[in-house]
Amino acid sequence: MALLKKKPQEVSDSKPSANKNLPTYHYHNVRRAQNIGLSRDIKQVSANQIHKAKKLWLEKFGLIILAVAIFASLVSILYLSSSSEVILQHDASKDPVYSTYKASVAATATKLLSSSILNANKITVNTKKIQSTLESDYPMYSSVTITLPLIDHHMVIYLRPAQPAIVLTDTNGQYLLNQAGIVMELSSKTGSFNYLKLPEVSYSIGEHFNIGQQELTTQEVQFIQTVEFELAARNNKVVNMNLPQGSAELNVYVSGKPYYIKFNLQNNDPRRQAGSYLATEHYLQTQNVTPSQYIDVRTDGRVFYK
């Protein structure tokens, strides 16, 4: 029986091919993709945060700039210069009595404004003190009004001229008094205030007075003014008045009369005393009597003459 020989199997050099049905896992590729996606997300989030941060910073910076601008504007608006503008009211600039002291008022205001740092601000400036000081130092002005402009930095001072009342003459010169009897101007020359056409009173006290000092009381000034007015109304022109030293007497000299009239300044009745003189003068004329020295109307209800 013939033996059957097994046919030898051929051995192939190539490796067996992989089974196509088996799943293949790409661990390295998936992780890398995830890492790339995560990195992109992080970068996107960081970019958004940076953008928001920049936007917030710009908004804050804008608010800061706005606040600084508002503060600077307020400081500029509220700032008050030490120099002031002085304005004379009622066209007083043509009168030397008032215009002479305009520059002096401005200089005094500058000194007062510079005396305190609080006066450099429109809110804290002490205008009442400045006003009272100017009214006290410059009696030629009856009132001082101060205004603070909204935009401008210069304080405005309005000066209302005081009404001059009488001219007082003594050995030192002439004094121009206001209605309160306070010296508002002085001059060493006689006749310096003749252009004002005011009652002129001689006063032989021999004491020098400065501007702002009181020489007569308000009542005495009013008395002198009333006497002159009452006599002038009856065609008795007053040419001179005299205040004897150490007495409350007013001596009045009338044009064309050889005598003078004695008035009592202490009695606040100038109209009655003037009326007594006018009645006595009329009576004496009817009697052809002319006093050679004086007519005295100082006592109420009685008149003396000599």
pLDDT in tens, 27-55: 455 555 555 555 555 656 566 777 677 77
Cβ contact 161:141 at 8 Å: yes
The CA distance from 154 to 152, in Å, is 6
pLDDT tens-digit profile of 63-76? 777 777 776 666 67
pLDDT at res. 140:
86
Residue 36 falls in which region: left (phi positive, over 0), alpha (psi -120 to 50) or beta:
alpha
The CA distance from 287 to 282, in Å, is 9
Which residue type occupies 289? V
pLDDT at res. 1:
44
β-pair partners for 157: 86, 146
Beta strands in 209-287 (DSSP E): 238-243, 249-254, 260-264
* Eight-class DSSP state of 157: E
The CA distance from 157 to 147, in Å, is 7
Element (H, E) at 214: none
Check whether domain 164-305 has CATH 2.30.29, yes or no: no
Residues of the chain with pLDDT under 50: 1-4, 11-12, 18, 26-27
The CA distance from 285 to 59, in Å, is 101
- Residue 213: which residues within 8 A CB-CB, separation 6 or more? 182, 183
Sign of CA dihedral 161, 162, 166, 167: negative
Which residue type occupies 170? D
Residue 206 falls in which region: left (phi positive, over 0), alpha (psi -120 to 50) or beta:
left
Domain edges within the chain = 39-78, 84-161, 164-305
The CA distance from 150 to 164, in Å, is 35
Cβ contact 243:277 at 8 Å: no
Predicted TM-score (pTM) above 0.85: no
